[in-house]
């Protein structure tokens, strides 16, 4: 089977400071991969390199076998990699509904996303339909950013720390949502420090440490080996 997303030998740097060293992982169709690692391990940089925001110095980023490494961000997005960055970008002066409409585009994913479908899958956004996106809470903005990204019908969705800075109840709602997207067959890569959250929603785990993937396996294998958490994830 061809992986939906395959990353191999990815190197990336900020100026003279190299941060990623040969990052390698694959995601099969319909899987949710949690990319876990401590603060500063290289999770966001991996996403930026995949999405073309920080062009990689070396390596391959293949979507369904097509190498996109080094392409411009809009090309990578159009090819089917949807990226939800940490800072939750919405158009604050537009309503929730308009934010979704603006983002609607054809794409290679099989979700057939449109505004009505987004409201079906994200029912918490329904009462906020006419509200300006700039007036939403952090959790509501997070949901809207995820919904917006899906409107481009991506083949793979990259979610950078979706639980960050949110209250436990909201984190649980975001978790529910990610599980629902997974059940619908969406292929997801989720960067997280919060291991409890990721293990509740992911099927696969990759652990990154100092810019290198140091462990790769299923959630069950991860749970069965507490030494991985102790070595790479606890502060
Ligand atoms: N714009 C930048 N310029 C220079 N160095 C950076 C920049 N952004 C990140 N770094 C450095 O790159 C390394 C990896 O950072 P990255 O943000 O990818 O980590 P992370 O695993 O996503 O952690 P976090 O949870 O803090 O976002 C860190 O040492 C960080 O200081």
Q: Which atom of ligand 1 is nearest to the CA of 47?
A: 18
Alpha carbon of 45 to ligand 1 centroid (Å): 6
Alpha carbon of 221 to ligand 1 centroid (Å): 28
User: Is the CB of 14 inside a 6 Å radius of any atom of ligand 1?
Assistant: yes
User: Is the CB of 175 inside a 6 Å radius of any atom of ligand 1?
Assistant: no
Digit-coded pLDDT (tens) for 79-116: 999 999 887 789 999 999 999 999 999 989 888 899 99
Q: Which domains does the chain have, with CATH numbers?
A: 5-233 (3.40.50.300)
Digit-coded pLDDT (tens) for 160-190: 999 888 888 889 989 998 999 999 889 999 9
Residue 217 has a CB neighbour count (10 Å cut-off) of: 15
Q: Which two tokens stand for residue 188?
A: 């997801």
Question: In the block, which residue shows the tokens 């537009």?
Answer: 94
Question: What mean pLDDT do residues 140-149 have?
Answer: 93
Q: Which atom of ligand 1 is nearest to the CA of 160?
A: 22
Sequential DSSP letters for 36-50: E--TTSSHHHHHHHH
For residue 24, pLDDT over 90 is answered with yes
User: Is the CB of 12 inside a 6 Å radius of any atom of ligand 1?
Assistant: no
Mean pLDDT taken over the chain:
93
Please say whether the beta carbons of 56 and 218 come within 8 A.
Answer: no
Q: Which mutation among 12, 18, 23, 43 tests ligand 1's pocket best, with the greatest number of atoms within 8 A of CB?
A: 43
pLDDT given at position 165: 86
Q: Which atom of ligand 1 is nearest to the CA of 86?
A: 27
Alpha carbon of 87 to ligand 1 centroid (Å): 14
Residues 6+ apart with CB under 8 A from 125: 96, 118, 119, 140, 143, 144, 147
User: Is the CB of 45 inside a 6 Å radius of any atom of ligand 1?
Assistant: yes
User: Is the CB of 148 inside a 6 Å radius of any atom of ligand 1?
Assistant: no
Question: What mean pLDDT do residues 123-127 have?
Answer: 94
Instruction: Reduce the DSSP state of residue 151 to 3 states and report it.
Output: coil
Question: Quick one: CA torsion of 36, 41, 43, 47, rounded to 10 degrees?
Answer: -150
For residue 1, pLDDT over 70 is answered with no
For residue 235, pLDDT over 80 is answered with no
């Amino acid at each position: 089977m061809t992986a939906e997303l395959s990353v191999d030998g990815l190197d990336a740097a900020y100026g003279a400071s190299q941060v990623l060293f040969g990052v390698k992982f694959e995601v099969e169709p319909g899987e949710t991969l949690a990319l876990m690692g401590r603060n500063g391990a290289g999770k966001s940089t991996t996403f930026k390199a995949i999405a073309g925001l920080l062009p990689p110095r070396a390596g391959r980023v293949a979507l369904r076998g097509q190498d996109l490494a080094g392409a411009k961000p809009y090309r990578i997005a159009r090819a089917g990699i949807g990226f939800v960055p940490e800072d939750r970008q919405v158009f604050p002066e537009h309503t929730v509904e308009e934010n979704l409409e603006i983002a609607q585009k054809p794409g290679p994913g099989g979700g057939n996303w449109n505004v009505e479908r987004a409201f079906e899958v994200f029912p918490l956004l329904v009462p906020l339909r006419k509200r300006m996106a700039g007036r939403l809470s952090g959790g509501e903005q997070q949901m809207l950013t995820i919904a917006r990204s899906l409107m481009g019908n991506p083949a793979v969705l990259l979610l950078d720390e979706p639980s960050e800075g949110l209250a436990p109840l909201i984190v649980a709602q975001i978790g529910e949502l990610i599980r629902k997207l997974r059940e619908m067959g969406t292929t997801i890569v989720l960067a997280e420090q919060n291991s409890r959250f990721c293990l509740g929603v992911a099927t696969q785990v990759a652990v990154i440490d100092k810019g290198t993937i140091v462990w790769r396996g299923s959630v069950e294998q991860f749970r069965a080996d507490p030494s991985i958490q102790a070595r790479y994830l606890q502060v």
